[in-house]
Copies of this chain bind each other. A is one copy, B any other.
Amino acid sequence: MEEFAQLTSPTLLLRPEIAKRNIQRMANKAKQAGLEFRPHFKTHQSHTVGGWFRDAGVTKITVSSIAMAEYFALDGWQDITIALPLNIREMDRINALARKIKLNVIVDNAQILTILEYQKMVQAPLHVWVEADCGDGRSGIPLKNKGAFIHVAQTLMKSPTMQFAGILTHAGHAYRRMSSTEAKALFTDISDNLGKLVEYFYRFEDFKGMKIPVSFGDTPLCSQLEAFPNIDELRPGNFVFYDFMQYAFGACTIDDIAMVMACPVISHQGGQQYIVHGGAVHFGKDFLLTNLKHKPVEEGKNFGWQVDFTESGWKPYRNSYLRGLSQEHGEAFNGSTPLLDKDLGQLAYFLPIHSCLTADLMMRYYLVENGELGEEIRMMKADPGYLDGFGNS
């Protein structure tokens, strides 16, 4: 057997020097642009990696669920935004946490405020961001519906328990292949419309002299751009690890990708296919097709891109990748020239397509530094308190 003899099953590996460099670079960028930096922690879901952000001066964070907010509050984080439209069925847990820390939530609808007020559901101070749809078409008030933003913000300003925190948006439509020119054009359009929305607020007496912060997030645009006019806060998340999808989008280099899955080779019949232990319950089912900026794959779906793990970093194979995943099987297509020579029992390494979902499935990762296997990092879902709610602990 070669390196990492102690690895027996599919194992997710993290190179901390890359993750720390990604963190520092984004923190510097926010600082130089004069912006608040509120990174999204949904990708790493770990107290340890959270500590690396703390070392970079981060004090405010973003999460995607009340469970994740509770988990990071337990580790001392005191200012957390749950970047999912408020789920009013979770108000007991939200109130409990809002009594302990500064808790920020988002709404995109006046109806929800009526329900909350009418049923007296808010029992602790809540900082409420109004979500804008800047073109993604998922959640948020469409930017052009300026009157709806005013109505929601004015309703919040009358509430005894809720405070209007600002405007928050996520450019989900930036998750695609973009040149830096295209990225800049997309952002400029969003930024102009956000600027106009804030100007519109100042037509109303209620908001005169008031700062209306604008929070913006997504790894592709935050990675590609340096200047962020009309924005006050950045909330990218995936950039801590990046992945093959972000590389294909043009948001990072291959050397910025911090994670790889090590998979034992378990079957081959000769020819261009071999089977690894590593399937849908390890990688998840996100894939990329071939119409991407970077084309390592000649046909069909790519569920993970094969690389060698060398001292100097990833050495990618041009046309070797996971072309199919069953529950625990991975079908690796070996189209490299010369053919890879993988024997049964050896490890094959694949860059994940989407590191957020792969890490979430694996529940843990191992640090690798200088070619040595180090500390095991257990994530939120591996914590014994997860299924019962950390708020109850």
Decide: B42 and A327 in contact? CB cutoff 8 A: yes
A286 beta carbon closer than 8 Å to chain B:
yes
- Looking at the assembled complex, report how far the CB atom of A255 sits from the nearest CB atom of chain B, in whole angstroms: 25
Evaluate whether A327 and B345 lie within 8 angstroms (CB atoms) in the complex, with A9-B65, A9-B89, A108-B267 already known. no
Evaluate whether A138 and B324 lie within 8 angstroms (CB atoms) in the complex, with A8-B89, A8-B90, A89-B8 already known. yes
A39 beta carbon closer than 8 Å to chain B:
no
Decide: B267 and A109 in contact? CB cutoff 8 A: yes
Evaluate whether A277 and B87 lie within 8 angstroms (CB atoms) in the complex, with A115-B345, A326-B172, A328-B64 already known. yes
Most buried by B among A7, A89, A112, A356: A89
Q: In A329-373, which residues have CB < 8 Å from any B CB?
A: 329, 331, 343-345, 356-357, 360-361, 363-364
CB-nearest residue of chain B to A284 = B285
Decide: B344 and A327 in contact? CB cutoff 8 A: no
Interface of A is mostly: mixed
Q: Give the chain B neighbours of A387 by CB distance below 8 A.
A: 363-364, 378, 382
Residue contacts A-B, CB under 8 angstroms, 6 given: A9-B67, A84-B266, A85-B266, A138-B329, A142-B269, A378-B387
- The interface of chain A, by Cβ under 8 A from chain B, is 1, 7-9, 42, 64-67, 84-90, 92-93, 108-109, 111-112, 115, 131, 133, 137-142, 172, 264, 266-269, 273, 275, 277, 280-281, 284-286, 324, 326-329, 331, 343-345, 356-357, 360-361, 363-364, 378, 381-382, 384, 387
Q: A89-B264, A131-B267, A384-B384 are in contact. List 5 more A-B contacts (CB 8 A).
A: A8-B87, A9-B66, A88-B345, A133-B269, A360-B361
